[in-house]
Amino acid sequence: MAISSTVWLWFTVGALGFFHGVNPAMGWLFAVALGLNRRSERVVWLSLAPIVLGHALAVALALLAALAVGLIVDPGPLQRIAGLILLAWAAWHAVYGRRHKVRIGMQTGYVGLGGWSFLMANAHGAGLMLIPAVIPLCIAAAPAHQLTARGSASIALAALGLHTAAMLAAIAIISIAVYKWVGLAFLRRGWINLDWLWTGALIACGIILLAL
């Protein structure tokens, strides 16, 4: 039996959450560093809450803005505009994204972690990446296949929950594994260039929106 497009869209929402959690810039690196500095696994676990909350807030604001515009503008043009924004964001990230200066130390507190997570999610366009999946889900769930305030809000909230849960799972697994067994030394020996991978994901999401 073929898997419906709706299932694939929900899978994409969750997969993006896991992908965002793997990126060390999204917070797990700071959680591990804070735990190592204070010599406490409990600190690592406690650090996950502000990281995930900051990310979820950034994603929620991006989805809210997109859906609010979608209630006024036809979804077709909205998707193309969002696609162009994603491609422009990918170009900016490829040229300037790696040049931003870290303004929060590796020994920051929980509030700093939440702020860093929020800023990094916005800087990386994490919320924008969900638009290619969330808008079609909202349209498919509506009786007239149009965006509605109530229907879109419930779908967006469910998507945010799934995305956040997947991200939390990824960050928890990586943080504890690095803290207890791997250690941070492996980052000096070699690590996947997630900057280019992230840029590629932004480009793919933009192309998908333009092709819909």
Share of the chain above pLDDT 70, in %: 81
> Residues 23, 116: contact at Cβ < 8 Å?
no
Q: In angstroms, rounded to a whole number, what is the distance separating the alpha carbons of residues 182 and 168? A: 19
**pLDDT band, residue 13 (cuts 50/70/90):** very high
Mean predicted confidence (pLDDT) in 178-193: 68
pLDDT for position 151: 75
Q: Is the pLDDT of residue 205 over 80?
A: no
**Structure token pair of residue 95:** 């040229």
- Token pair 């809450």 is found at 49
Q: Per-residue DSSP letters for 81-117?
A: HHHHHHHHHHHHHHHHGGGPPP-S-TT--HHHHHHHH
More confident residue, 18 or 191: 18
pLDDT number for residue 146: 65
* Between residues 105 and 43, the one the model is more confident about: 43
Structure tokens at 79: 């998707």
The secondary structure of the chain in percent helix, strand, coil, rounded to multiples of 5, reads: 80, 0, 20
Question: In angstroms, rounded to a whole number, what is the distance separating the alpha carbons of residues 47 and 35?
Answer: 8
Give the integer Cα–Cα distance in Å for 124 and 24: 12
**What are the boundaries of each domain within the chain?**
5-184+192-211
Q: Is the pLDDT of residue 15 over 50?
A: yes
- Angle (CA) 172-129-54 rounded to 5° is 45
Q: Which of 10-14, 73-77, 83-87, 191-195 has the lowest mean pLDDT?
A: 191-195
The residue type of 46 is: L
Question: Which of the pair, 73 or 112, is modelled with greater confidence?
Answer: 112
pLDDT class of 46 with cuts at 50, 70, 90: very high
Q: Which residue has the higher pLDDT, 182 or 160?
A: 160
Three-state secondary structure call for residue 2: coil
Report DSSP state, residue 190: -
